[in-house]
């Protein structure tokens, strides 16, 4: 994908990351890509044991390209670790080796889990994304390959920091996967090739939809009196922009990213609208409807529609429109894609120009792990940090446009100085939280047109 022009130079990225890069890029030589011949098992440590972390660990332990073993787990919630532990233990037998002494709970638990690995092993990060740069920096310091779930940033400052860390990881020859698994979907890959070869003609518009009832922890009622602010906000991380980028970043990044991939460009600006409806006593920061118009460098558009409301029309899909026809990028959730090209501008079974053969056999959630582990064993280039950071940033650009009511350009969000959680690396269970409730237990929400330079 072509590079996005930006006034923030590489030097500025490195300067912004400061001590992180000093502690990582300069922390020794490239790590070995395999271990000694007598033990070729790649060890894995899971940091963040919720549903997505458990799913990613299951995929990691299912790879076919040589022996792997889960040896450590960490989370800030002991009950989540225990549930994940039981699930993975029951599925994976001797690939699972996490006794009580390698189960760690707390804000520094990630350090203890990663200490169970050797240089060249894999750290798997699936915590709320606010913690991603902290954990990634520690992994680089220790010469560890990484898989980290999306999004990997939530605002401009964390994106600049992540881009610098990505450069440091490349310098150390680390292999890094980012959980934008749609890029590893064989149907979409063939569609990408066909679009780039001109089968749709000139791409003029793309559109994507994620509209369904509330899921995850996107909507939250008042904080329980027996739980600290920090732990409540982490437990309900989809509800808080500092922790996750909100439902917009966590839910919508896949459709936005796959559309930008098919276009083979990143948008340069976004304008958007959104609002809150029927919210009762919910205190989260999210809107429940979003409409975004992204503009690419050539003037073509990507229209994104998000709605998290019950009782409405549901749709979960992405489409591309060109001068010669239209394409389905995804049709029902993330996989199978059912990618296809149609003559004309609508889905019509009588006008199919090409369709990927069904059923689609290789689950991209599994394929992304196969590629990462193979790259580690064969010492092949594999580093998805820059792409993951830019996908996260472009998603945040649309979110910021809706939350401020302004046209937000790529450089605006990249260079925005509003860091949602500047002390995320110093959080403690009972210490100050990144977000403070008012006397009624309500948190600040976006006010488009009133707060125009920051989201809250």
Ranges of each domain in the chain:
10-182+366-384, 186-360+395-426
Establish whether domains 10-182+366-384 and 186-360+395-426 are of one fold. Answer: no
421's tokens? 């959680």
Confidence class for position 35, pLDDT limits 50, 70, 90:
low
Q: Which residues pair with 295 in a beta bridge?
A: 269, 301
Share of residues in the chain with pLDDT > 90 (%): 90
Q: At CA 187, angle to CA 185 and CA 193, rounded to 5? A: 100
Strands 145-148 and 176-178: parallel
What are the tens digits of pLDDT across the range 94-142? 999 999 999 999 999 999 999 999 999 999 999 999 999 999 999 999 9
Share of residues in the chain with pLDDT > 70 (%): 92
Give the orientation angle of helix 156-171 with respect to helix 132-141, to 10 degrees. Answer: 20
What are the tens digits of pLDDT across the range 201-257? 999 999 999 999 999 999 999 999 999 999 999 999 999 999 999 999 999 999 999
pLDDT at position 34: 59
What are the tens digits of pLDDT across the range 357-372? 999 999 999 999 999 9
Architecture of domain 10-182+366-384: 3-Layer(aba) Sandwich (3.40)
Supply the CATH classification number for the domain 186-360+395-426: 3.30.360.10
pLDDT at position 317: 98
pLDDT at 5 over 90: no
Q: Residues 18-44: what's their mean pLDDT?
A: 61
**Mean of per-residue pLDDT scores for the chain:** 93
Give the orientation angle of helix 51-60 with respect to helix 78-92, to 10 degrees. Answer: 30
pLDDT at 30 over 90: no
HEC profile for the chain? CCCCCCCCCHHHHHHHHCHHHHHHCCCCCCCCCCCCCCCCCEEEEEECCCHHHHHHHHHHCCCCCCCEEEEEEEECCHHHHHHHHHHHHHHHHHHECCCHHHEEECCCHHHHHHCCCCCCCEEEECCCHHHHHHHHHHHHHCCCEEEECCCCCCCHHHHHHHHHHHHHHHHCCCCEEECCHHHHCHHHHHHHHHHHCCCCCCEEEEEEEEEECCCCCCCCCCCCCCCCHHHHHHHCHHHCHHHHCHHHHHHHHHHHHHHHHHHCCCCCEEEEEEECCCCCCCCCCCCCEEEEEEECCCCCEEEEEEEECCCCCCEEEEEEEECCEEEEEECCCCCCCCCEEEEECCCCHHHEEEECCCCCCCCHHHHHHHHHHHHHHHCCCCECHHHHHHHHHHHHHHHHHHHHCCCEEHHHHHHCCCCCCCCHHHCCCCCCCCCCCCCCCCCCCCCCCCCCCCCC
pTM above 0.85, yes or no: yes
Q: Residues 318-329: what's their mean pLDDT?
A: 98
Q: At CA 389, angle to CA 375 and CA 198, rounded to 5? A: 75
Q: Residues 437-452: what's their mean pLDDT?
A: 96
325's tokens? 């026809």
What are the tens digits of pLDDT across the range 373-426? 999 999 999 999 999 999 999 999 999 999 999 999 999 999 999 999 999 999
- Residues 12/18, Cβ–Cβ less than 8 Å: no
Q: Which residues pair with 352 in a beta bridge?
A: 342
């Amino acid at each position: 994908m072509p590079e996005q022009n930006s006034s923030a130079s590489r030097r500025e990225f490195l300067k912004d990351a400061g001590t992180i890069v000093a502690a990582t890029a300069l922390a020794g030589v490239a790590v070995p890509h395999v271990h000694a011949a007598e033990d070729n098992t790649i060890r894995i440590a899971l940091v963040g044991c919720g549903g997505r972390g458990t799913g990613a660990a299951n995929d990691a332990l299912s790879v076919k390209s040589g022996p792997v073993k889960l040896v450590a787990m960490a989370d800030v919630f002991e009950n989540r670790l225990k549930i994940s532990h039981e699930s993975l233990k029951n599925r994976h037998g001797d690939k699972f080796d996490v006794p009580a002494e390698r189960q760690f709970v707390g804000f520094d638990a990630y350090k203890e889990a990663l200490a169970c690995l050797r240089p060249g092993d894999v750290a798997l990060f699936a915590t709320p994304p606010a913690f991603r740069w902290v954990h990634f920096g520690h992994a680089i310091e220790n010469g560890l390959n990484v898989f980290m779930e999306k999004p990997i940033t939530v605002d401009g400052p964390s994106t600049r920091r992540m881009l610098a860390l990505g450069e440091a990881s490349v310098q150390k020859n680390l292999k890094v996967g980012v959980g934008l698994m749609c890029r590893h979907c064989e149907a979409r890959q063939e569609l990408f090739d066909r679009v780039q070869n001109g089968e749709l003609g000139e791409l003029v518009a793309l559109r994507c939809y994620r509209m369904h009832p509330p899921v995850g922890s996107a909507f939250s009622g008042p904080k329980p009196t027996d739980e600290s602010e920090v732990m409540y906000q982490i437990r309900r991380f989809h509800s808080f922009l500092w922790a996750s980028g909100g439902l917009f970043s966590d839910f919508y990044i896949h459709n936005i990213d796959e559309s930008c991939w098919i276009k083979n460009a990143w948008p340069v600006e976004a304008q958007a609208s959104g609002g809150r409806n029927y919210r009762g006593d919910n205190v989260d920061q999210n809107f429940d409807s979003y409409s975004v118009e992204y503009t690419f460098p050539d003037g073509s558009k990507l229209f994104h529609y998000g709605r998290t409301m019950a009782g409405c029309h549901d749709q979960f899909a992405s489409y591309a429109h060109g001068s010669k026809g239209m394409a389905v990028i995804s049709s029902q959730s993330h996989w199978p894609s059912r990618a296809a090209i149609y003559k004309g501008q609508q889905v019509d079974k009588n006008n199919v120009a090409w369709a990927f053969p069904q059923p689609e056999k290789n689950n991209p959630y599994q394929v992304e792990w196969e590629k990462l582990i193979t790259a580690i064993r064969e010492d092949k280039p594999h580093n998805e940090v820059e792409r993951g950071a830019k996908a996260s940033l472009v998603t945040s650009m649309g979110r910021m446009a809706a939350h401020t009511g302004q046209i937000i350009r790529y450089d605006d969000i990249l260079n925005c100085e509003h860091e949602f959680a500047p002390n995320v690396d110093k959080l403690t269970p009972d210490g100050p939280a990144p977000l403070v409730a008012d006397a009624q237990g309500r948190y600040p929400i976006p006010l488009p047109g009133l707060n125009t330079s920051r989201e809250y």
